[in-house]
Structure 1
Amino acid sequence: MGKIFVLDTNVLLQDPRAIFAFEDNEVVIPAVVLEEIDSKKRFMDEIGRNARQVSRLLDNLRENGKLHTGVKLKQGGLLRVELNHRSFQKMQDTFPNITNDNRILAVAMNLQVEEGQKESGRPVILVSKDALVRVKADALGLRAEDYLSDRVIMDTDIYPGFYELLVDPDKIDEFYTKKFLDLKEIGLDMNQVYPNEFYILKDRFGTSKSAVAKVNQNQTLLEPLRMNEAVWGIIPRNIQQKMALELLLDDHISLITMTGRAGTGKTLLSLAAGLLKVEDEQVYHKLLVARPVIPMGRDLGFLPGEKEEKLRPWMQPIYDNLEYLFNTKKPGELDKILAGMGSIQVEALTYIRGRSIPNQFIIIDEAQNLTKHEVKTIITRVGEGSKIVLMGDPDQIDHPYLDAMNNGLTYVVERFKQERISGHIQLNKGERSILAQLAADLL
């Protein structure tokens, strides 16, 4: 027996191809969903792009028949735009306001009542990314589910980039003597480890003997870390920060992803490594730092001033770290330094898309607020000889349709973890201050 899936607007705005994700079941799009999509199609952002793509997909499906009576999908199943079943009579005592969410709920509820009167009625399931819509559905006795097909991972355990491994103590001694260990000798299958992955070797008998190693790019050996000195005055304070600098300073790695809560040092470490590679070693021509502008209050266009003045509040976390690295004391001193150097550019992400960016050390902060399409757009613009660092906290997302399991940063982490030119590290310990760490843990 098949099922009937009623789709909320946010499902289609998150994944325009969601209509093809329900196998041989019936997919129902309420008429109000089309109205909401139509109101979004003029937006010049990811939501607008998805709204336009949904419109094109539905228009193409019209060639196969009338959408209000049902159109068969190539992947199996049936798609139908629901024009009836809009009566509020069954739910007006519980949710009397005629909102768009309640109109979608009404369609699902009336379909459920109709199917319940049939001898072989099908289950009706409302699919929504909106938690409150699912809560409302539950109150009405409707079955509701989150849309999971867009998730990169199915739980919150994102790939950490490092693991602890218990070994015999003589293997640790051998590692320090030979400066490498064969993966097979310590029981690791080269098909089960990833290039540039880290291992903390610990004595299986419980002594303090330990070592930190990285899988080589050929996935055959564990090798010692090479970074042992301060970078622009920054000394790593924990082992994950040391691993992060190892990746940041490796010229053979073109893509680095870093995850961690606020205060774990992601931005500071990346800027220090970028300054070393651009200013001191001159491996790259320019250091480009960007972050998405996700407004939590008034949008950027309503702020007074020119572009640079508007951007300054959004970019201030970057400038705070640069002031620390350059040890500036006076107001305006950092601006004079940056103007004199000319090799450091701080931009909103809006202004770097569409460009070709060769021979640059690129840092993208707050990457957890990017969609899969946006992060693909950015990485595909990286030119020859460039290195890009994507970092952020997947648990701190301001985008309305993203979460820890379907955002662009998590997407890149999972898709690139097997590639030789990429590396990932998850920073766990906050180093901003004792107070900041306590706040992250307790609040």
Structure 2
Amino acid sequence: MTGSIRWPWYVLAAWLVAGCAAPAVRAPESVALKTRTFSAAYSSFNAQVLSDAGALDTSFRASLTRPEEMATRLESAYTYRFADSHEQLRVGDSVSSSGMWGSAVRYGGMQYGTRTTTRSDVITTPDLATGGLAVLPTVADALLMTGDPGSSLSQNNPSVTRAWRTGDLIARDALGRSMAIDAPLIASTRLAEPGCSDVSVGAGRVRRDYAITSNQYGPTFANTTVTCGLPLGFTVEGHGEYLADSVTAVGIGVARRLGSLGVASLAYASSQADIGTGWFAKLGFERQGDLFSIALRSRLQSREFRSVGALNTDDPIMQRDLASVGVNVIDGARLSVAYATQVTWSRERMNFIALQQSLNMGRGSLSMSAGHSLADNFGSSVFLSYKRPFGFGVRAAPSLIDEFIPLFPATSSDDGIE
């Protein structure tokens, strides 16, 4: 009895001793809180605690009209930046690196390296909900999903539409919410500096039902991308991804600048899954100039090829071709054409073509864009818009390839920001 009375005092004494030995707590150097409303009923919030060495951040989504609904956690992570180095360590929720050919997914775990962002054509907007495994589609993926609304990919992952009122590119998620995005149809090829300092290594568990439930995690996931700059101007990249009990895929990419002609790239990968062993090949070329710019991508793959981003598909892609051409007609006036075509192993074909012309008028710009599906006259669209920024800031220089992604009017009114 006496011992049971004394043990709380022992605990209190130990706590006091530990408190005397602990260093003094200092106030954080910076605390930031951001919010962005993307519908009339919901907002997403992001809180950050920043220091010279790293940052602790978390984000969540909450209902503005239904207090009884619990907030949904989106991402939580601590990022530590090593001194005198471009390397960093992130513990918590991350987005995997996709390299030249791979998949990008949301996962919880560890990520280490110098490559902190994925390809620019991947839709990484953190507020979009994803059903099932949290796979992040590219703009081309989301665009071609729009033509097949009954597919499982279209139902679970973000698809792309164009807002009638503004002409902005809109990604609509698995819950029907929408948000404006800014991503190209074709990502530029990254050329590495001499050496092998461009690396990303990640491991953990893939997120499930991201932005729908707070803490659902799926199977074990691992991902590695190493990019090296070699003699004679070659860039060589090795990329691999693994999902437990599902798929293992490894591949290599090579890119080189061909003088003033542009940048050529080639990627090849092999996968091992329950369906068997498959292969994947990708060719690319791009050139950017003051008057004329072009970007081309062509993708071929076997029926058995699988990646983490395309596991449960009954009709895999056989070939996909993307093209974007831009011409600066006169100073401040640009004309661009974008084209996308895809054929699956069931011989289902989708083709999109689009045209955009833009003209700078003072501090604003007037643009006209038109798109049309060449498959069964699925749909057409024409947009005319004028945009002018308020205030007196400096207007950013436009891209040499001002792509217009061909899209079709949404079946319901847009409920997100535009």
Bigger relative CO (Cα 8 Å, ≥ 6 apart) = 1
TM-score (norm 2): 0.23
Q: Which is richer in helix?
A: 1
Q: Which is richer in strand?
A: 2
Q: Which has the larger radius of gyration?
A: 1
